[in-house]
């Protein structure tokens, strides 16, 4: 090896490039935007509505993500539609969520505190729900927005966004067993949906896993 090569300079430049991703992810708002985009492509306006940020603020964060090549965009009429740069980004995000869950006790506490307020909400595993669906004894509702369902969903699930849940339940017999899922382990909508269904007299369960976890489950079988 040529010892005259600028090894130190190479290492410095290399880790400086790696740090670009770390700096980009140092914002809680950008992490939320990426989590939303992991569920499917979205316009700036949709992201602003979901995060309760201004369009200008969302655009600023998206530009930072774009500069780090973590997201990409396309034009659809007058709208600019953003998506993750590739499926490997979704895998990285889920690895980050799991590592944070393991390393940060506050996350475990926050999840416990939230679910303890939903004391009547029972959680079933993905295996349990899929088995009951195969038996025909349970139906599965996807309570995410319809565009996220269209981008990808657990096979056999029915798209019933939260705002349509009450109306949809009117068509079901009260003896129906129902499970609900949303955007994965850190999404609260499934627990809220189960509470609503229980108040209307249904036997309902929360599925903690989402579409990403279902894909992982399929590869492990």
Enumerate domains of the chain plus CATH numbers: 7-90 (1.10.10.10), 114-220 (3.40.250.10)
d(CA 40, CA 152): 8
Q: Do 178 and 139 meet the contact criterion of CB atoms below 8 Å apart?
A: yes
Query: What average pLDDT does this structure show over 89-111?
Result: 93
Catalytic residue numbers, as ranges:
182
Residue 117: its pLDDT value, please? 80
Residue 205: its pLDDT value, please? 96
Please give the C-alpha separations between residue 113 and each of 96, 116, 181, in angstroms, as whole numbers.
21, 5, 19
Question: Would you place residue 221 in the very low, low, confident or very high pLDDT band (cuts 50, 70, 90)?
Answer: confident
Check whether 3 has a pLDDT greater than 60.
Answer: no
The distance from CA 161 to its chain's CA centroid, rounded to whole angstroms, is: 15
pTM recorded for the entire structure: 0.89
Structure tokens at 216: 């992982």
For strands 79-84 and 123-124, give the pairing. unpaired
Apex CA 194: angle with CA 189 and CA 200, to 5°?
130
d(CA 151, CA 153): 7
Residue 149: its pLDDT value, please? 98
Residue from 163, 157, 162 nearest 178 by CA: 157
C-beta atoms surrounding 14 within 10 Å = 10
- What's the pLDDT tens digit per position in 187-216? 989 999 999 999 999 999 999 999 999 999
d(CA 62, CA 114): 30
Q: How far apart, in Å, do the first and last CA atoms of the chain sit?
A: 46
């Amino acid at each position: 090896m040529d010892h005259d090569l600028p090894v130190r300079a190479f290492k410095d430049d290399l880790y400086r490039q790696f740090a670009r991703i770390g700096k980009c992810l140092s914002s809680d708002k950008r992490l939320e935007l990426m989590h939303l985009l992991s569920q499917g492509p979205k316009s700036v306006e949709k992201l602003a509505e979901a995060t309760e940020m201004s369009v200008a603020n969302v655009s600023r964060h998206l530009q930072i993500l774009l500069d780090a090549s973590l997201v990409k965009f396309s034009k659809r009429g007058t709208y600019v539609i953003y998506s993750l740069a590739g499926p490997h980004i979704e895998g990285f995000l889920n690895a980050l969520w799991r590592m944070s869950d393991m390393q940060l006790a506050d996350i475990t506490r926050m999840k416990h505190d939230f679910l303890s307020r939903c004391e009547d909400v029972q959680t079933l595993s993905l295996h349990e729900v899929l088995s009951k669906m195969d038996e025909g004894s349970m139906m599965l509702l996807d309570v995410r927005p319809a565009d996220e369902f269209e981008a990808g969903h657990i096979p056999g699930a029915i798209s019933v966004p939260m705002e349509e849940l009450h109306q949809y339940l009117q068509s079901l017999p009260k003896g129906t067993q129902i499970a609900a899922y949303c955007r994965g382990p850190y999404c609260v909508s499934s627990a809220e949906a189960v509470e609503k269904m229980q108040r209307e007299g249904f036997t309902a369960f929360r599925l903690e896993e989402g579409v990403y976890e279902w894909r992982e489950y399929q590869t492990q079988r």
